[in-house]
Amino acid sequence: MNKKYERYIEYIVNDIEPPYFKNMEDHYGLKEEEYELVLSKLFNQPVTIKGDHVYDTNGNVIYFENSDGFWYKQEYDTNGNEIYSENSNGYWSKYEYDTNGKLIYHEDSDDLIIDTR
C-alpha cells in the first residue's frame, strides 16, 4: 500500500461516522473491496463482511446496516459477552458480567438500570 493511499485510509477511519457502508460509498468513493480494510482499522480487529453484516473473528455481528439507513453496532468482551450496543435511533445499552459470565449489570438509554451485584 503506498503512503498516500495509506494516509487516505487513516483519514477515513478517523473521520467516518455511521452509516459506514453508505458513507464509504457516497462520501469517500470507496469500492466494496476496500470496505473490510477500513472497517478492520475502525474496529481495531480483522473483520468479515457478509451482506449487510460485519463480523469479528469470533463470528459475532459487530455492525449491521440496511438500505434505509438503519444501523447498529455491538461490542463484546473476551468471553463473547455483549458489553455495549447502540443504534441509529439513539438507543444504547451497556452490560457487565461476573467472572462466570453471569450478567450483573445492565444500563440503557431508557434509564433502565439493573444491578444484581
Where are the chain's structural domains?
A: 3-115
Pairing of strands 103-108, 113-115: antiparallel
Please list, in sequence order, all residues whose beta carbon lies within 8 angstroms of the beta carbon of residue 55, skipping any fewer than 6 positions away: 47, 48, 49, 61, 62
pTM of the entire predicted model:
0.90
DSSP of 101-112? S-EEEEEETTS-
C-alpha cell at 19: 452509516
Q: How do residues 37-94 score in pLDDT, each as one tens digit?
A: 999 999 999 999 999 999 999 999 999 999 999 999 999 999 999 999 999 999 999 9
